[in-house]
Amino acid sequence: MPEKRVVVLTGAGVSAESGIKTFRDSGGLWEDYDIMDVATPEAWERNQELVLDFYNQRRKQLYEVEPNDAHYALVDLEKDFDVQIITQNVDDLHERAGSSNVMHLHGELKKVRSSVDERLVYDLDGWELKPGDRCEKGAQLRPHIVWFGEPVDMIPAAAELSNSADIYVIIGTSLNVYPAAGLVSYVRPGTPIYLIDPGELSVGHIPGLTFIREKAGTGTKKLVSELKKDHT
């Protein structure tokens, strides 16, 4: 029998227990920074140093944290299922835990790209991208991040994956940011959908949803053991 496919959509909450701040919780990143100052093409036009510094701090922190139980539970799930992760996160904690299939919707912190040719993407050595660091065409390198107002090129592929799910799992996202938050509408009717998040989310509009009101670490471990039990 072919393996059942579990498609997992993750957000900042899956990395919260690793010590990475979420965006919209109290104490979240968007309390300390204005999105318009650091995460838009206009911000980049206005003040490249501020934008570079914001992502340098994020990248520096990423070298100091480790994957948590939630990331590892998703790796464990691969023993019994075809697991496909779609993440809104720009960290690499799913990969470092050992997940095989990870699609990044909003870019990757450890990569940088040309500011004049988006096809020129490079791995950055270390945490710091500096003013004056240039691509092979001589243009300033920018973070490899999808900023607000920029197209999310991975959405068609993520929608197709969502549509192919036998089981859909959502972990640690406020479902506030589109188009990512709309991916659940591509899940085929009748597919079981699980949401793991300790927050107060209004998800009444999602049919077939089981809301596991827990933190990612404990919630994901529990769900993974349930899914494995049902599978055998």
**Which of the residues are catalytic?**
106
Is residue 22 a contact residue for ligand APR (CB under 6 A)?
A: yes
Taking CB under 6 A as the criterion, the residue among 100, 176, 185, 225 binding ligand APR is: 176
Under rule CB under 6 A, residue 37 binds ligand APR: no
Distance CA 184, CA 209 (A): 10
Q: Which x/- pattern over 190-209 shows residues binding ligand APR (rule: CB under 6 A)?
A: -------xxx-x--------
Q: Closest by alpha carbon to 169, among 99, 50, 83?
A: 83
β-partners of residue 84 are: 7
Residues 98-127, one symbol each (x = binds ligand APR by CB under 6 A, - = not), give --------x---------------------
Interaction of residue 17 with ligand APR, rule CB under 6 A? yes
What is the rounded distance in angstroms from the CA atom of residue 225 to the CA atom of residue 214?
Answer: 15
Burial class (CB in 10 A: 0-12, 13-18, 19+), 219: buried
Nearest Cα to Cα of residue 75 among 102, 92, 104, 99: 99
CA distance 228 to 185: 26
Tell me how far, at minimum, the Cβ of 66 lies from ligand APR, in Å: 15
Is 28 among the residues that bind ligand APR (CB under 6 A)? yes
Binding site for ligand APR (CB under 6 A): 11-13, 16-17, 22-25, 28, 88, 106, 172-174, 176-177, 197-199, 201, 215-216
